[in-house]
Structure 1
């Protein structure tokens, strides 16, 4: 015997039925932040925070890495 249920509801209704939180306000805030970053660009603090998150090995020595990068002299032609 096989029983099938077809439930017609929106994703928001399904989340509410299952007791999951409504993340729409958080999503809207995130989108607004992304729009701001795209239109205004990344600041130094934002870049450092992203580096610490995405590349933890470099982030530990970020200041040393940055200083050695800027103090290096070009080579070649």
Structure 2
């Protein structure tokens, strides 16, 4: 027998139902700190260094990320 149950929850309701902590204040502080550090100046080198610090990947892995970002930001030629 197969039973399917659909539950309609908002992300907040799902988080609470699963007992996960609310990290909104931490996220807000992180974003504010990041914006303050950048001081309105976003340079490609900064983004590259930030991406390298997020995940331990080699140059080949980083090239894949770079290619995805370039394709996503292309203006339709």
TM-score of the superposed pair, with normalisation by structure 1 = 0.49
TM-score of the superposed pair, with normalisation by structure 2 = 0.49
